[in-house]
Amino acid sequence: MLVDTALVGEWADARQFFRGHADIPLRHRMSAVMHFVASRSLFREVGLWTNLSDSYSNRNNIIHGGASATQAEASLALSVAKRVIAIMDAI
């Protein structure tokens, strides 16, 4: 597992934390693990973090609140997904 490799020799609870055994939002785990593994953080990508956070909020409203996505929200989600994939492809 990438987390175990990146954090070899670190405190076991830290490795467990980043493997998802803690109550931390997925976007934060993704960004932190990418930083550990590839020295690249979604948080530090210009303009991405706000859009990523808005997209996650929209997703949660749809999944947990029964909301529907507007055209703008759907476009945002696609834009964010494409950008995250491009970043991951570049690593």
CA distances from 53 to 5, 8, 57 (A): 28, 30, 6
pLDDT tens digit string along 16-73? 777 766 677 777 777 887 887 888 888 889 999 999 999 999 999 999 999 999 999 9
Instruction: Specify the residue for token string 């834009």.
Output: 79
**What is the pLDDT at residue 22?**
63
Residue 81 has pLDDT above 70, yes or no: yes
Dmax over CA atoms of the chain, in Å, equals 47
Give the pTM: 0.69
pLDDT of res. 74:
96
Position 42 scores a pLDDT of 87
Give the whole-angstrom CA distance, residue 84 versus residue 73.
16
